[in-house]
Structure 1
Amino acid sequence: MSSAEALDAADVPPGRPGGREPRLWWTLGLFRSELAITFGRWRTLALLAVLAAVPVLIGVAVKIETSDGGEIGRGQGGGPAFLTQVTNNGLFLVFAALAVTLPVFLPMAVGVVAGDAIAGEANSGTLRYLLVAPAGRTRLLLAKYTSVLAFCLAATAAVAASALAVGALLFPLGEVTTISGTRIPFGEGLARAALIAVIVAASLAGLAALGLFVSTLTNSGIAAMAATVGLLITVQILDTIPQLHAIQPYLFSHYWLSFADVLREPVYWDGLVRNLGLQALYAAVFGSAAWARFTSKDITV
Structure 2
Amino acid sequence: MSSKTLSSSTASRKSVGWRFLGSELSVLFRRRRTWALLAALAAIPVLIAVAVKLSSGPPRGRGPAFLDQVSQNGLFVAVVATIVAIPLFLPLTVGVVAGDTVAGEASTGTLRYLLMSPVARGRLLAVKYAGAVVFCLAATFTVGSVGTLMGALLFPVGPVTTLSGTTIDVTESLVRIALVCLYVTLSLLGLCAVGLFMSTLTDVPVGAMAATVVASVVSQVVGQLPQLEWIHPWLLTHYWLGFADLLRDPVVWDSFAANAVLQAGYIVVFGALAYGRFSTKDVLA
Say whether the fold is shared (TM-score over 0.5).
Answer: yes
TM bucket (normalised to shorter chain) is: over 0.9
Within the candidate set 17, 23, 36, 1:27 is matched to 17
Q: Deviations over 1:13-68 (max 9, x none)?
A: xxxxx9444423321111011101111111111000000011000001111123xx
Cα deviation, residue 276, structure 1: 1.6
> One-letter code of the match for 2:18?
L
> What is aligned with 1:45?
35
> For the Cα contact (< 8 Å) 2:216–2:236, is it kept in 1?
no
> What is aligned with 1:72?
58
Cα deviation, residue 204, structure 1: 0.4
Higher mean C-alpha displacement, 253-262 vs 266-275: 266-275
> What is aligned with 1:178?
162
> What is aligned with 1:213?
197
> One-letter code of the match for 1:258?
G
What TM-score do you get using the length of structure 2 for normalisation? 0.94
Higher mean C-alpha displacement, 228-237 vs 103-112: 228-237
Higher mean C-alpha displacement, 123-132 vs 259-268: 259-268
Structure 2 residue 22 is matched with structure 1 residue 36: no
Match of 2:134, SS?
helix
> What is aligned with 1:142?
126
Structure 2 residue 143 is matched with structure 1 residue 159: yes
Alpha carbons of structure 1 residues 125 and 55: separation in structure 2 relative to 1, 3 Å: same
Q: Deviations over 1:96-121 (max 9, x none)?
A: 11111011101110011000100010
Cα deviation, residue 186, structure 1: 1.1
Structure 1 stretches of at least 4 aligned residues deviating more than 4 Å after TM superposition? none
Q: For the residues of structure 1 that align with 2:284 and 2:199, how far apart are their CA atoms?
A: 16
Structure 2 residue 194 is matched with structure 1 residue 204: no
Within the candidate set 256, 260, 265, 2:244 is matched to 260
Structure 2 residue 42 is matched with structure 1 residue 58: no
> What is aligned with 1:108?
92
> What is aligned with 2:4?
none
| Count of residue pairs brought into register by the alignment | 279
Q: Give RMSD over aligned pairs.
A: 1.5
Gaps of 5+ in 1: 1-17
> One-letter code of the match for 1:154?
A
Q: For the residues of structure 1 that align with 2:272 and 2:242, how far apart are their CA atoms?
A: 27
> For the Cα contact (< 8 Å) 2:99–2:212, is it kept in 1?
yes
Match of 1:123, SS?
helix
Match of 1:252, SS?
coil
